[in-house]
Amino acid sequence: MAVSISEAKLGMNNSTTASSLDALAWLYYNQGKYDKAEPLYEPALAICENVLGAEHPYTAACLNNLGELYRVQSKYDKAKPLYERALAIHEKVSGSEHPDTAMCLNNLGGLYTDQGKNDKAEPLYERALAIREKVLGTEHPYTAATLQNLAIIYKNQGKYDKAKPLYERALAINEKVLGSEHPDTALSRKALANCLRAVK
């Protein structure tokens, strides 16, 4: 196992070990094995903070990953400060218009959306969308993802006239870039259909 090899050769206080721990945790996360991911993400973050520093971009990535793990388990009180720290690092180190900053804004917006705090999520999604449109382009899948997230907020608020065009844009991007059979395109199509049903 890569983690065991890294630990044996380099020790626990090494960024390569942190990267291996983070990668294995990500694998478990994507398999839904959250109980196996958490004890790997936590030491990965600790190593990054010790070796790379509290304001290193990779430390921010580890913060974000652990925050995501907590969010999907509805551990919002544990996720929020991690997201906020990751965002602060990227704003300071990477800049206010960097794609990683947009990612952190989008993820923090997702946390608030999950909690039903639409008024807090909305400005975060708006900022993320502005960055992604400017830096990644108006037809990037990440731009589509944020369009859809913002559309969800508008739909939750009953602002269907604002939600519908965003859902339509997200679907058009995904169909063009990812193809009509891609899972993200299918999700966009379903989201638009749900919005249209809600309007009727």
Yes or no: domain 1-93 corresponds to CATH 1.20.144.10: no
Read off the pLDDT of residues 54-67 as tens digits, 9 standing for 90 and up: 999 999 999 999 99
Phi, psi of 32 (to 5 degrees): 80, 15
**Window from 14-28, 32-46, 94-108, 126-140 with minimum mean pLDDT:** 14-28
Q: What is the pLDDT of residues 162-196, one digit of tens each?
A: 999 999 999 999 999 999 999 999 999 999 999 99
Query: pLDDT at position 13, please?
Result: 65
Instruction: Please report, for the chain, the start and end positions of each structural domain, with discontinuous segments joined by +.
Output: 1-93, 99-200
Q: What is the model's pLDDT at position 14? A: 72
Model confidence pLDDT, tens digit, residues 27-54: 999 999 999 999 999 999 999 999 999 9
Instruction: Please enumerate in sequence order all residues whose Cβ is within 8 A of that of 73, keeping only pairs 6 or more positions apart, or say none.
Output: 34
CB 23 within 8 A of CB 58: no
Average pLDDT, the chain: 92
State the Cα–Cα distance between residues 167 and 193, nearest whole angstrom.
9
Give 41's contacts (C-beta < 8 A, 6+ positions apart): 21, 22, 25, 29, 62, 65, 66, 69
Question: CATH topology of 1-93 equal to that of 99-200?
Answer: yes
**Spatial distance between the Cα atoms of 141 and 145, rounded to a whole number of angstroms:** 6
As a whole number, mean pLDDT of residues 107-131 equals: 98
pLDDT of residue 1: 46
Pick the CATH number of 99-200 from 1.20.1730.10, 3.30.413.10, 1.25.40.10, 3.10.450.50: 1.25.40.10
pLDDT of 7 strictly over 50:
no
For the entire predicted model, the pTM comes to 0.88
CB 46 within 8 A of CB 25: no
